[in-house]
């Protein structure tokens, strides 16, 4: 058994589960796309559930890199970092021509009621995913950049849940209109910018004679 088969199966599984879903991507099709015998799938992963959890972990690891790149950019104010994340992910979705959404959202719809293993992993992913957003929102509230009526964790939950809904609508419509609506409404209401300027939010200041 070639050592590379495990990696090839995971790559094929991620691609096919994105395209056909958890149920639609059969083990046989995944192995065929990876150039691996079906028996090697069982040897490496044991079951489709276990395999799907690992595919989900791999997807989330990549997503966390996008989160880190946007939300840890201290050259921007906290609210600007949140907007940057949405901008960056919109670019990712555009590169796939609006046809591929978020595997976390897709699995939540398809597998949460079928698999205890995947439901528990999805629940923990949402908790991990929201934390850096809650931290960023708290920073924005502390410097007065956004309103403090709601708790940072609640706003982070609302932001991510609304974003996932917008992505699902995007897939149905085959275009970015839902993403643009999401951004306009969220950043115009619950994350509306206040008059306070946070450290790092220097975009409105320009040297004499220069404009942005």
Give 143-176 pLDDT, tens digit per residue: 999 999 999 999 999 999 999 999 999 999 999 9
pLDDT of residue 171: 95
Structure tokens at 119: 């439901």
- Average pLDDT taken over every residue of the chain: 91
More confident residue, 198 or 8: 8
Contact (CB, 8 A) for 39 and 29: no
- The domain spans of the chain are 1-46, 49-186
Spatial separation of the C-alpha atoms in residues 103 and 118, rounded to whole Å: 12
CA atoms of 127 and 133, how far apart (whole Å):
11
Share of the chain above pLDDT 90, in %: 88
CA 106, CA 100: separation in Å to the nearest integer?
10
What would the pLDDT profile of 104-152 be if each residue is shown by its tens digit? 999 999 999 999 999 999 999 999 999 999 999 999 999 999 999 999 9
Task: Name which of 37, 45, 60 is nearest 10 in CA terms.
Answer: 45
pLDDT of residue 208: 39
Query: Is residue 202 pLDDT above 60, yes or no?
Result: no
Residue closest to 138 by CA, chosen among 207, 209, 198: 198
Residue % of the chain over a pLDDT of 70: 91
Q: What pLDDT score was predicted for residue 3?
A: 57
Confidence of residue 4 (pLDDT cuts 50, 70, 90): confident
Q: What is the CATH number of domain 49-186?
A: 1.10.357.10
Q: Whose structure tokens read 């939010």?
A: 201
Q: How far apart are CA 88 and CA 73, in angstroms?
A: 13
pLDDT, residue 67, reads 98
Q: Read off the pLDDT band of 29 (50, 70, 90).
A: very high
**Domain 1-46 carries which CATH code?**
1.10.10.60
Integer angstrom CA distances of residue 176 from 93, 101, 165, 172: 9, 11, 13, 10
Q: Mind giving me the DSSP string for 92-158?
A: HHHHTTT----HHHHHHHHHTTT-HHHHHHHHHHHHHHHHHHHHHHHHHHHTTSS--SS-HHHHHHH
pLDDT value, residue 195: 64
Q: Average pLDDT for residues 19-25, to the nearest whole number?
A: 95
Q: Residue 34: is its pLDDT beyond 80? A: yes
């Amino acid at each position: 058994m070639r050592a590379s088969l495990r990696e090839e199966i995971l790559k094929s599984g991620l691609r096919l589960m994105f395209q056909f879903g958890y149920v639609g991507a059969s083990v046989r099709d995944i192995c065929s796309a990876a150039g691996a015998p079906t028996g090697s799938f069982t040897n490496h992963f044991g079951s489709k559930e276990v395999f799907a959890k690992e595919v989900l972990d791999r997807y989330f690891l990549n997503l966390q890199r996008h989160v880190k790149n946007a939300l840890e950019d201290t050259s921007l104010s906290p609210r600007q970092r949140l907007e940057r994340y949405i901008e960056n992910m919109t670019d990712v979705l555009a590169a796939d021509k609006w046809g591929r959404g978020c595997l976390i959202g897709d699995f939540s719809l398809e597998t949460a009621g079928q698999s205890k293993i995947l439901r528990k992993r999805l629940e923990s992913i949402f908790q991990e995913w929201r934390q850096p957003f809650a931290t960023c929102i708290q920073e924005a509230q502390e410097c007065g950049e956004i309103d403090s009526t709601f708790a940072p964790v609640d706003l982070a939950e609302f932001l991510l849940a609304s974003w996932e809904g917008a992505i699902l609508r995007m897939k149905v419509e085959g275009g970015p209109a839902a993403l643009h609506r999401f951004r306009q409404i969220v950043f115009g209401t619950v994350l509306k910018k206040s008059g306070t300027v946070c450290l790092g939010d220097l975009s409105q200041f320009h040297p004499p004679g220069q404009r942005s």
